[in-house]
Structure 1
Amino acid sequence: MARMQRLDVRGRTTVITGAASGMGAEVARELDRRGARLALLDRNADGLRELASSLTGTRHTTHVVDLTDDDAVFALAGGIEASHPHVQALITCAGSSMLGDIDQLTMEEMRWLMEVNLWGTVNVTKALLPALRRAPAAHITHLVSIYGLAAPAGRIPYAMSKYAVRGFTEALRHELEASSVSVGAIYPAGVKTGIILHGRFAAAIEPAVAERVARAGAAMYHTEPADAARRIVDATIARRARTMVGREARLVDVLARVTPNGYWRFMRRALRDTIDTRTPVR
């Protein structure tokens, strides 16, 4: 098999979703340092302005959009192409989390997270695919999660959405294998972005309990965002199909393969405090 052509990001455009904060902002900073042009997408206008003002590049653009609005996303794709004639990469970082077990969660809460994490990834990918196909070589990078490898209790909507993004990514990679567009998935574990502290929780959970659980989860995150961003950008440039970020991701990947029906026995104890949304705060 011929070696896949690497991307040269200098002067060429990468589109980043969820760019106003978290991993999206870190990936933007890393690509800016490498001389890329950026189209930065988020629903947070203030966050986008703050990020853009901190970057050294002068040809970046910011785009305020709600990724759950399909019409807005597809309309935006034309505007990005008009401003960026050489779109060669898409990195989807937008997403949220949701705490709660099946009895605490409502159908509306679970559907909301699926809209953000799954359909917000699918629609921007589909909208930008024509532009990516026009590049001599292009790559789509989807941030999945360690919970797209193994599904813990207490994270049903999050795991559902991430397994779905994984399936979408792999199927799309197979569909596009004869084209100039490659597709890859990133499986981060324990990146200190604060996503779990800023995520949502089922309305049925007492706020004090939700805060305790979120802080217990955040305490388990060890990977620095800048380190994760370098791995994500390197994987995009190399057009890798599968990249683990963090030692926990590598461990869980092996564990889920070796014992697909028993991995939870090994994970339950470590995650106990991060999924206990029932015990009152005393």
Structure 2
Amino acid sequence: MPNWNLENRTAVVTGAASGIGRALAVGLAARGCNLALADRNVAGLEETERVIATNRVRISRHALDVADREAVAALPAVVEAAHGGLDLLVNNAGVAVGGTFDDVTEADFEWLFEINFWGVVRMTRAFLPLLRAQPEARIVNLSSLYGLIAPPGQTAYAASKFAVRGFSQALAHELAGSSVGVTVVHPGGVATSVADSARLPAHMTPEEAARGRAAANSLLKLPPERAAAIILAAVERRQGRVLVGTDAKLVALIERLVPVSYWSLIQKLIPRGRAAT
């Protein structure tokens, strides 16, 4: 079967104001795909549109918090009016919370899940009717390296990304044989602002917070543009799962070989002082 041609398709991309979301938007526009860009960061959305503005594709911007169920439910009608339909839904928006389970408040745990997991579920439920109306369509859900393994200090984030993984796999099985495919993405360390914008425990001093962010950022090396290229190539090939980066591929292999004790082995591969905390 030939690759899925994204030219003249329409895609919704959440978290499109920066990072992987912006890079995906740029890559889709280069393929001639029309775009509905969604994010809470309106200024960032405007910059994304400026970067990709071209007469070849139609672009609409949508100020959206994926944790707002009413706003999500209202968005499909707006996108349909602007673009006439939808072929590709990219659930990319996400946030992070640092700290051990004892450190993370229930409010911060729920805040993260509202965006990382329930945002994916709500967007999928809202847009599935439009996707089903197309001869071929696809849902792309961003999980994480931490949807494959669960390091200490990542109880909230890993739980949300494992949930995205499970939801995506079950949904793919339910949609098998239909016109809608599902791709779940596990990026490794991509150089985005996720660590800098993460919520941290209130008891952390500014010095401790700075050290924690620096340690996390030291593991984020893959350029977002490279990550987006890998993801879009997988979408064109209709892959059900894609591992983004050498770190994700290595960790996935280790987890398969030693699914219970993988962390003791992975710790030895992380430079001293850079382990997740």
Q: TM-score, normalised by structure 1?
A: 0.93
Q: What is the CA distance between 1:47 and its match in structure 2?
A: 0.9
Q: Which residue of 2 aligns with 1:7?
A: 4
Q: Which residue of 2 aligns with 1:37?
A: 34
Whole-angstrom CA distance in 2 between matches of 1:207 and 1:173: 43
Q: One-letter code of the match for 1:218?
A: N
Q: Is the 8 A contact 2:151 2:276 kept in 1?
A: no
Q: Is the 8 A contact 1:100 1:205 kept in 2?
A: no
Q: Which residue of 1 aligns with 2:189?
A: 190
> Does 1:47 pair with 2:49?
no
Length, aligned pairs only: 274
Q: One-letter code of the match for 2:32?
A: G
> Structure 1 pair 146/255, CA: closer, same or farther in 2 (3 Å)?
same
Whole-angstrom CA distance in 2 between matches of 1:150 and 1:188: 12
> Structure 1 pair 245/118, CA: closer, same or farther in 2 (3 Å)?
same
Q: Which residue of 1 aligns with 2:229?
A: 230
3-state DSSP of counterpart to 1:229: helix
Whole-angstrom CA distance in 1 between matches of 2:276 and 2:187: 23
Q: Is the 8 A contact 1:89 1:132 kept in 2?
A: yes
3-state DSSP of counterpart to 1:110: helix
Q: Which residue of 2 aligns with 1:98?
A: 97
Q: Which residue of 1 aligns with 2:75?
A: 76
Whole-angstrom CA distance in 2 between matches of 1:29 and 1:232: 13
Q: Which residue of 1 aligns with 2:16?
A: 19
Q: CA RMSD in A?
A: 1.5
> Structure 1 pair 104/135, CA: closer, same or farther in 2 (3 Å)?
same
Q: What is the CA distance between 1:93 and its match in structure 2?
A: 1.1
> Structure 1 pair 154/271, CA: closer, same or farther in 2 (3 Å)?
farther
Equivalent residues in 2 for 1:242-261 (5 A)? 242-261=241-260
Q: Which residue of 2 aligns with 1:115?
A: 114
Q: One-letter code of the match for 1:56?
A: A
> Structure 1 pair 109/98, CA: closer, same or farther in 2 (3 Å)?
same
String of CA shifts for 1:211-266, please: whole Å, max 9, x gaps: 21111111122211111110111112222101111111011111111111100101
Whole-angstrom CA distance in 2 between matches of 1:215 and 1:150: 21
Q: Which residue of 2 aligns with 1:263?
A: 262
Q: Which residue of 2 aligns with 1:280?
A: none
Q: One-letter code of the match for 1:164?
A: A
Q: What is the CA distance between 1:112 and its match in structure 2?
A: 0.8
Q: Which residue of 1 aligns with 2:273?
A: 273
3-state DSSP of counterpart to 2:196: helix
Q: Is the 8 A contact 1:154 1:275 kept in 2?
A: no
Q: One-letter code of the match for 1:138?
A: A
Q: Which residue of 2 aligns with 1:146?
A: 145
Q: What is the CA distance between 1:18 and its match in structure 2?
A: 0.3
Q: Is the 8 A contact 1:191 1:228 kept in 2?
A: yes
Q: Is the 8 A contact 2:219 2:274 kept in 1?
A: no
Whole-angstrom CA distance in 2 between matches of 1:94 and 1:272: 31
Whole-angstrom CA distance in 1 between matches of 2:136 and 2:49: 26
Q: Is the 8 A contact 1:40 1:48 kept in 2?
A: yes
Q: One-letter code of the match for 1:173?
A: A
Work out the percentage of aligned pairs sharing the same amino acid. Answer: 40
Q: Which residue of 2 aligns with 1:241?
A: 240
3-state DSSP of counterpart to 2:184: strand
Q: TM-score, normalised by structure 2?
A: 0.95
Q: What is the CA distance between 1:109 and its match in structure 2?
A: 0.9
Q: Is the 8 A contact 1:217 1:273 kept in 2?
A: no
Q: What is the CA distance between 1:114 and its match in structure 2?
A: 0.7
Q: Is the 8 A contact 1:140 1:236 kept in 2?
A: no
3-state DSSP of counterpart to 2:273: helix
Which has the larger displacement, 81-90 or 183-192? 81-90
Equivalent residues in 2 for 1:199-214 (5 A)? 199-214=198-213
Q: Is the 8 A contact 2:267 2:275 kept in 1?
A: no
> Structure 1 pair 124/264, CA: closer, same or farther in 2 (3 Å)?
same
Q: One-letter code of the match for 2:51?
A: S
